[in-house]
Amino acid sequence: MKKLTCCALVLALLMALSSASAGSAGGPTDPLITRSYAQSVYKDAVTGSLTAAALERLQAIYDEAAAPYARGQDTSVKYTSGREGWRLASGSVTLPSGGTLTPTSGSLTLADVRGEVVDATVGEVVAPGSPLTNYHRYIVTEDAEAAFVCSAPALFYLDGPYVPAQGMERQYAYYDDVAGSEWYYDSMVYVRENRLFHDWDAASFNGRATATRAEMVYALWVLSGSPVPGTDSGFTDLTEDWYRDAVNWAAETGITTGVSDTKFSPDGIVKRSQMAAFFYRCTAWQGGRTDQRSDLTVYTDWEKIPGWATDALSWATAIKVIQGNDNHTVAPSSSSTRAQLAAVIMRWDEANP
């Protein structure tokens, strides 16, 4: 009888443990946390907590740095919490403690300085009178103030507190011919940051220059990952190395057929109808959607659209990569400037993530 009672108790205990284990497995109180719980719940909770703590700390640092200027202790001092591009033709810009300056072109020299200025790129203190090196980041240290003088038009980034100089113009600091007020400012930034034009590091953007067929194909090639072509296109007019792989790749994938069997015309203007065809074929090659269509007869010049470009333009206008003009034309034979090409490329990339 004792044996039977003992067996019954053991069985009951095992059933209770089994039930408790089944009910709480994978839960937050289970000492043996399952992998799925760790990955889908615990990890996300920890990541979210750390992110919130980091953002809170960063905000506190920013608030502490910006507070003196927000209270108006020195109305001449401005403050930026991110890199801003500026152009200064002549004169000087003053940075108090905590300000940073990164020149990108032109000629800047560290003039008057109280305290120290550090070249953070090389980790060295800069002596007064020293010329600045482009793309190096200069930091004004604690309890210091420094004046940077330009003897020739200079472009630079500012981050933190600064005293603006007379004649300073808000400008994207990469190029000397693009002001922040330009309509294509954002497109230029996008093209520059992604290095979609072969001359991305030039001093000028030349947004009003006519875009070429080589520039069009080169941008698509870079956005497609700069693949190495496996064959030669056979085009005999490819004279520049910077676009050779791009054109051979475009011919290999069917994105271009050239202007003839032996010519691509890399320096030729890229017409809007050609632009639409390049985008259309590249989207198809990438496996994107090309079935969208718009009614081209809403444009007064729709009859001027060449037959080979009809599907491409109908698709491009449907997804608003190419847009009609204010006079209700689509202008299939018109050329595009580099600024316009930058804007259209950005719209296409955003429409085909």
What digits encode the pLDDT tens for the residues 70-110?
544 555 788 876 667 888 888 899 999 999 998 988 889 99
Q: Is the confidence at residue 236, as pLDDT, over 60?
A: yes
pTM above 0.75, yes or no: no
Q: Kindly provide the b/e burial profile for residues 319-349, where b requires at least 16 CB atoms within 10 angstroms of the residue's own CB.
A: bebbebeeeeebbbeebbebbbbbbbbbbbb
- Domain residue spans of the chain: 24-70, 78-170, 185-351
Predicted local confidence at residue 185, as pLDDT? 86
What are residue 86's DSSP bridge partners? 156, 170
Q: Is the confidence at residue 241, as pLDDT, over 80?
A: yes
Q: How far apart are CA 330 and CA 275, in angstroms?
A: 12
> Which residue from 108, 107, 118, 123 is spatially nearest to 144, judged by alpha carbons?
118
Quote the mean pLDDT of the chain: 83
Q: What are phi and psi of 107, to 5 degrees?
A: -135, 115
Give the Cα-Cα-Cα angle 205, 210, 213 (nearest 5 degrees): 105
CATH of the domain spanning 78-170, picked from 2.30.30, 2.60.120, 1.20.140, 3.30.1370: 2.60.120
Q: How far apart are CA 210 and CA 339, in angstroms?
A: 9
Q: Is the confidence at residue 15, as pLDDT, over 60?
A: no
Q: Is the confidence at residue 67, as pLDDT, over 70?
A: no
What are the residues whose beta carbons fall under 8 Å from the beta carbon of 330, sequence distance 6 or more? 272, 296, 299, 301, 302, 305, 313, 317, 322, 324
Q: Is the confidence at residue 198, as pLDDT, over 90?
A: yes
* Structure confidence at residue 43 as a pLDDT band (50, 70, 90): low
The tokens of 227 are what?
Answer: 């693949």
Predicted local confidence at residue 265, as pLDDT? 96
> Sign of torsion, CA 71 73 78 79?
negative
Q: What are phi and psi of 290, to 5 degrees?
A: -135, 20
> Which residue from 245, 309, 242, 243 is spatially nearest to 279, judged by alpha carbons?
309
What digits encode the pLDDT tens for the residues 161-186?
998 888 888 876 678 788 777 899 88
What are the residues whose beta carbons fall under 8 Å from the beta carbon of 310, sequence distance 6 or more? 296
The tokens of 90 are what?
Answer: 């002549």
What digits encode the pLDDT tens for the residues 302-344?
999 999 999 999 999 999 999 878 888 999 999 999 999 999 9
* Structure confidence at residue 42 as a pLDDT band (50, 70, 90): low
Q: Is the confidence at residue 4, as pLDDT, over 70?
A: no
Contact between 138 and 156 under an 8 Å Cβ cutoff? The reply is: no
Q: Which residue has the higher pLDDT, 235 or 160?
A: 235
Q: What is the DSSP string of 71-120?
A: TTS-TT-EEEEEEEEEEESSEEEEEETT-EEEEEEEEEEEEEEES-EEET
Predicted local confidence at residue 11, as pLDDT? 47
The tokens of 142 are what?
Answer: 């604690």
Number of H helices, E strands in the chain: 9, 8
* Structure confidence at residue 36 as a pLDDT band (50, 70, 90): low
* Structure confidence at residue 149 as a pLDDT band (50, 70, 90): very high
User: Any idea which residue has 């403690």 for tokens?
Assistant: 97
Q: Is the confidence at residue 136, as pLDDT, over 60?
A: yes
* Structure confidence at residue 297 as a pLDDT band (50, 70, 90): very high
